[in-house]
Amino acid sequence: MANPLSTLGIVHTAISLAPVVAGLYGFARHGAILPQTRSGKFYLSSLVLSVLTSFGLSSTGGFNEGHALGIVTLVAVAGSLAAARTDRLGRLKPYLLSFGLSFSFFLLIVPAINESLTRLPASQPLASGPESPIVRTTLMVWLVIFLSGVSLQAYLLRRRAVAVKAARAPLSR
């Protein structure tokens, strides 16, 4: 079998599926990953565990791009949660929370794309490495999906804010 996974690699892969499922559920059910929901809490805890287990993996024997991506993911989550609790940001809070958690989901899938395409099918993987055209194309498509998704989220957040403001406004004659 080409590119065998270590025991930690297998455990990490299994753990990493949990935030993917929880994130997809959050997007389907709520249109976003909401940290106050059960799926949002599960997403956040399993994402942190996924990133932490990735730190024990290295094909280069040291710190690599995957580790940096994990750190950026944790910073995105921490920043979005902190922004949601900061009163100084006013109307930006829901947008920053939504963007930060969606960005963490985007980052979660980036290594999954590379690893899947360079390992599957096991007998003859579709790509030879991260520089392969199929990996780059798939990542570009994933970026377009992400940008479309956060744009839709921002539009829906704005529409809800306008509706709430209109409902609170006194009736004018």
pTM above 0.85, yes or no: yes
In a domain, 173, yes or no: no
- Per-residue pLDDT tens over the stretch 14-52: 999 999 999 999 999 999 999 999 999 999 999 999 999
CB atoms within 10 A of CB 46: 20
Instruction: List Cα–Cα distances, 133 to 65, 108, 114, in angstroms.
Output: 19, 20, 11
Q: Tell me, what's the pLDDT at 101?
A: 98
- Per-residue pLDDT tens over the stretch 45-85: 999 999 999 998 877 778 888 899 999 999 999 999 999 99
In a domain, 2, yes or no: no
Q: Tell me, what's the pLDDT at 65?
A: 87
Query: How does residue 1 score in pLDDT terms, banded at 50, 70 and 90?
Result: very low
Domain extent, residue 142, equals 7-168
Domain count, the chain: 1
In a domain, 1, yes or no: no
* Residue keyed to tokens 């957040």: 157
